[in-house]
Amino acid sequence: MEKLLIPKPMSAGIILSYKCSGSCKHCMYASSPNWPADWMSSNQLEYIISKLSETIIQSPLGPRNVGVNVGLHFTGGEPFLNFSLLSEAVKVAKKYDIPSMFVETNCFWCSCDEIVRERFKELKSYGLNGVLISVNPFLLEHVPFERTERAINIGYEVFQKNLMVYQEYYRMLFKKLNIKATLSFEEFLKRVDPTWAYYIELLPMGRAVYKLSMLFKKYPAKYFFGQSCYHEITRDWHIHIDNHGNYIPGYCGGISLGNVKDYEKIFDGIILDELPIIKALVTDIRILYNIGVKEFDYKESREGYISKCHLCVDIRKHIVEKGGELTELKPIEFYKNLI
Ligand code: SF4
């Protein structure tokens, strides 16, 4: 019986729900307003945080400092859509002495100074160490930049150095372009120098492989054969757990290594013969392709693929659409909200 050993996580993100105020073209978790508001329950939240508290480590700069892939963060979807749950999550994490704790937000709710200051101060009083403000042209399509700027300015006031801007390059660019409101991505492309893309981080996975494929060179499926995702699947330096209890390796939306209701079982070792998609991914993506073609009549895309994650998610989506009920392909709604 072949087992895959998964180390316990040193850093994690908790997806309170996939529901979001917008539907960004680059979203790795395919969040959108269409998802149900099935927020993580209080019991589940406490259980998950208690388990994570055993292994989450602090930022190298100390427990009160934050970093993008260190400590614990609350995310979604958009966590500020449910401020009372977010507040509860921070209080519970504080109770378990979780270090380097922050929340990330798209700032849709930052319509006036008072609300932003009040909410940031409240969360800080419950024990939140910092905030990550997302800034990019995909959010800009539905969040006015003046709201993002407001959150950054007040965030610095409340959290000082623990206010993170991801990505600072875009903030500078939007200021230079004198943007205040929202802007469509098409309009953004018309207004910037084509070299903008050299300076940014954009992971070619999740919804981006469908909505932003025009930004990338494409390759046939066989170009990616021979590649394995062993390191991504067994990663311990940053994982996610969603509101359904799915233990998601790294940033691989739609893949579940197990349900955290059997938390310890995940780390006893995953029986690969029970999870054929995981088995294929940790071996060679060619095997996933063969499963797709032979068992689910998958047809290779004529346009090609921008990354191995594009090939991976496209085959997984096809399997789900064909009714393939595989334990590791969860949540199912992820695949329905990709496009
Ligand atoms: S190819 Fe699939 S499993 Fe591998 S990193 Fe990309 S999304 Fe994750």
Render pLDDT for 125-168 as a digit per residue (tens, 0 to 9).
999 999 999 999 999 999 999 999 999 999 999 999 999 999 99
How far apart are the C-alpha atoms of 311 and 205, rounded to whole Å? Answer: 9
Instruction: Please give the average per-residue pLDDT across 109-138, as a whole number.
Output: 98
- Looking at domain 9-202, what is its CATH homologous superfamily? Aldolase class I (3.20.20.70)
What's the mean pLDDT when you consider all of the chain? 96
320-324 average pLDDT score? 95
- Going from the Cα of 294 to the center of ligand 1, the distance in angstroms, rounded, reads 20
Mean pLDDT along residues 232-236: 94
DSSP, res 94: H
Percentage of residues of the chain with pLDDT beyond 70: 100
pLDDT at 1 exceeding the cut of 90: no
Q: Are 103 and 75 in contact (CB under 8 A)?
A: yes
| CA-nearest residue, atom 4 of ligand 1 | 229
Q: For ligand 1, pick from 247, 252, 305 the residue to mutate: most ligand atoms within 8 Å of CB.
A: 252
CA atoms within 13 A on the CB side of 284: 8
Atom 6 (ligand 1) nearest CA: 309
Phi, psi (deg, nearest 5) at residue 237:
-80, -15
The residue extents of the domains of the chain are: 9-202
Instruction: Compute and round to an integer the Cα radius of gyration of the chain.
Output: 20
Among left, alpha and beta (phi > 0; psi -120 to 50; other), residue 281 is: alpha
The whole-number pLDDT of residue 197 equals 75
What phi and psi values does residue 11 have, to the nearest 5 degrees? -150, 145
Q: What mean pLDDT comes out for the span 300-315?
A: 97
Classify the phi-psi angles of 97: left when phi > 0, otherwise alpha if psi is within -120 to 50, otherwise beta. Answer: left
Any ligand 1 atom below 6 A from CB of 308: yes
What pLDDT digit, counting tens, does each position of 271-306 carry? 999 999 999 999 999 999 999 999 999 999 999 999
Is 14 in a helix, a strand, or coil?
Answer: strand
Residue 62 scores a pLDDT above 80: yes
* pLDDT in the model for residue 82: 98
- Burial status of residue 287 (CB atoms within 10 A of its CB: 0-12, 13-18, 19 or more): middle
Q: How far is the CA of 30 from the centre of ligand 1 (A)?
A: 15
Within the chain, residue ranges assigned H as helices are: 42-52, 83-95, 113-126, 145-159, 168-176, 185-191, 208-211, 230-233, 263-267, 276-283, 285-296, 308-321, 332-336
Centre of ligand 1 from the C-alpha of residue 109, in Å: 32
Read off the tokens for 139.
Answer: 């959010």
CA 128 from chain centre, in angstroms, equals 20
Cβ of 205 less than 6 Å from ligand 1? yes
Distance from C-alpha of 224 to C-alpha of 307, rounded to nearest angstrom = 8
d(CA 257, CA 80): 27
pLDDT over threshold 90, residue 3: yes
pLDDT of residue 196: 77
pLDDT at 279: 97
Distance CA 254, CA 324 (A): 14
- pLDDT, residue 176, reads 93
| Ligand 1 centroid from CA 135, angstroms | 24
Q: Cis peptide leading into 167, omega within 30 of 0?
A: yes
Closest protein CA for atom 1 of ligand 1: 309
**Do the beta carbons of residue 87 and residue 126 sit within 8 Å?**
yes
Tens digit of each residue's pLDDT (9 = 90 or more) over 187-216: 999 999 878 777 778 899 999 999 999 999
Residue 61 has pLDDT above 90, yes or no: yes
CA–CA distance, 286 with 224 (Å, rounded to integer)? 8
- pTM given for the model: 0.95
pLDDT range class, residue 224, cuts 50, 70, 90: very high
Rounded to 10°, the helix 113-126/83-95 angle is: 30
